[in-house]
Amino acid sequence: MSTEQWEDYLAANDARFVDELSDFLTYASISSLPEHTGAVADAAQWVADRLTQAGIENVSVLPTGGHPVVYGDWCHAPDKPTVLIYGHFDTQPVDPLALWTRPPFEPHIQDERIYARGASDDKGNMLIPILAVEALLETRRQLPLNIKFLFEGQEEIGSPQLPEVIDRERARLACDLVVSADGGQWAEGQPALHTSLRGLCALEIRLTGARSDLHSGSYGGAVLNPIQALCELLAELHDDRGRVTVEGFYDDVRPLDAHATERIRAVPFDADAFKAGIGVPALHGEADYTTYERLWTRPTLEINGIWGGFQGEGTKTVLPSLAHAKITCRLVADQDPERICRRVGDHLIAKAPAAVRIDVRPEASHAWPYQIAPDHPGNQAAAAVHRRIFGREPHIVGMGGSIPVCGIFLRTLDAYTVNFAFGLKDENVHAPDEFFRLSSFRLGQRAYVHLLDALSRSAF
């Protein structure tokens, strides 16, 4: 079978594309750290330049009041659908830095894997559709449909300014479908259609006892230790069946229908491999649910951090005055993040003992849970490409993580988001030694060309 010209173009430019990815990965675009704001802006400019180089028009870096967003389009297919391709060029922080084999922003290729912070999440993935589009524009001089690109620099901090930006730019961003180049595939050689993302809300709590730390001999036993109060408070947030005890927490959770249960049961699960993959001695979760049901269909409340008191070497006989914790909840349809945040905060305030003061600080940015039908035309197109490229039927799965903008796209642009990305679960995203497989990078480029062709024939 003779290859098409675009395939030859991708093959002929492979080394350049890998070099470009490597260059992109040198930007330390950590969105959560103020000292990296300039690097996020530089990465945005890199993306804008790369879009222009690919032949995309109307490229601009849009100000947001926070980290920027990059837009570009090619809209010369009047009777064809319009697809908006999404990704993010910001990254998570790198700590613990000591656990990295090499510096996180000095990309390094070994065994056909490129190692760097952001390699898989999401720079490697978001570059793929740009390269696919370049190959088409260079060889066919046109695209099979209208394409808009929207890349953001604030996904990893919850996309705080995106609701406002997408609302303001809704005419420019109007589309029939969003395709997300942030997300992933199931396993090497095994594709998946993703039908859900969980939502997220976050809060921080602080318990205060005495005006300052106290001598534990002079006062211990006579006043409540805020760390003890915090531990008791947090321990009560789950019952012995693994359910969150906050009143009303599950009120808006849509019950699982028989179809969804059946689809989840159809996905093979190997508990031993799952445990070994992450190094835990046993699995744990809400009673009466399977692991995939817990991950994809049930909300959670997690304590992400807890601190207070003496952390230094040796003993300090102190009764600390302060204790803190960070809490997030993963949410499922139809839970409202602000409402859940309020319920958790109110619960903690109500349950806190009178012997300490409690401050609850809800975080402003949050994400709505998101769902898309497995047979949505966008997913049907993706599945057709999966069959062709992987030679396999995709699993139908959910995603436990969150991409805040998907709910915003649905609400503001009335457009569903199809996941089309190539990261795999073992690529250490958010962790030391993050990497992306170059095989995925290459396969993704071909898959994107096929997806655009398939979507050009879809009816939305």
> Could you list the residues that contact ligand BES (CB under 6 A)?
121-122, 155-156, 158, 182-184, 200, 367, 399, 401-404
Stretch that binds Mn ion, among 93-101, 180-188, 224-232, 267-275 (CB under 5 A): 180-188
Q: Which residues pair with 300 in a beta bridge?
A: 330
How far apart are CB 354 and ligand BES at their closest, in Å?
35
Q: Does 363 bind Mn ion (CB under 5 A)?
A: no
d(CA 378, CA 458): 8
The one among 182, 293, 363, 427 contacting Mn ion by CB under 5 A: 182
- My answer on whether omega of the bond before 334 falls inside 30° of 0, hence cis, is yes
**Cα dihedral 26/30/35/41 (nearest 10):** 70
Stretch that binds Mn ion, among 69-77, 179-187, 231-239, 390-398 (CB under 5 A): 179-187
Applying CB under 5 A, the site for Mn ion has a residue count of: 3
Nearer to Mn ion, 176 or 363 (CB): 363
Q: Does 427 bind Mn ion (CB under 5 A)?
A: no
Q: Does 122 bind Mn ion (CB under 5 A)?
A: yes
Write down how long the chain is: 460
How far apart are CB 202 and ligand BES at their closest, in Å?
8
How far apart are CB 203 and ligand BES at their closest, in Å?
14
Nearer to Mn ion, 73 or 182 (CB): 182
Q: Choosing among Mn ion, ligand BES, none, which partner's interface includes residue 209 (Cβ < 5 to 8 Å by kind)?
A: none
d(CA 290, CA 374): 20
Measure Cα distances from 124 to 80, 117, 278, 326, 367 in Å. 28, 10, 23, 31, 24
d(CA 296, CA 289): 11
Nearer to ligand BES, 225 or 300 (CB): 300
Nearer to Mn ion, 178 or 227 (CB): 178
Dihedral sign (CA 333, 338, 340, 341): positive
- Provide the total of helices (H) and of strands (E) in the chain, helices listed first: 15, 18
How far apart are CB 11 and ligand BES at their closest, in Å?
28
Q: Does 176 bind Mn ion (CB under 5 A)?
A: no
Residues within window 227-246 making contact with Mn ion, judged by CB under 5 A: none
Q: Choosing among Mn ion, ligand BES, none, which partner's interface includes residue 200 (Cβ < 5 to 8 Å by kind)?
A: ligand BES
Q: Choosing among ligand BES, Mn ion, none, which partner's interface includes residue 402 (Cβ < 5 to 8 Å by kind)?
A: ligand BES
Stretch that binds Mn ion, among 51-59, 114-122, 293-301, 327-335 (CB under 5 A): 114-122
Between strands 113-115 and 108-110, the pairing is antiparallel
How far apart are CB 432 and Mn ion at their closest, in Å?
15
| C-alpha triplet 300, 332, 186: angle, nearest 5° | 90
Residue 192 main-chain phi, psi, to 5 deg: -150, 145
CB-CB contact of 83 with 178 (8 Å): yes
d(CA 366, CA 298): 17
Residues of the shown chain interacting with Mn ion in the complex, contacts defined by CB under 5 A: 121-122, 182
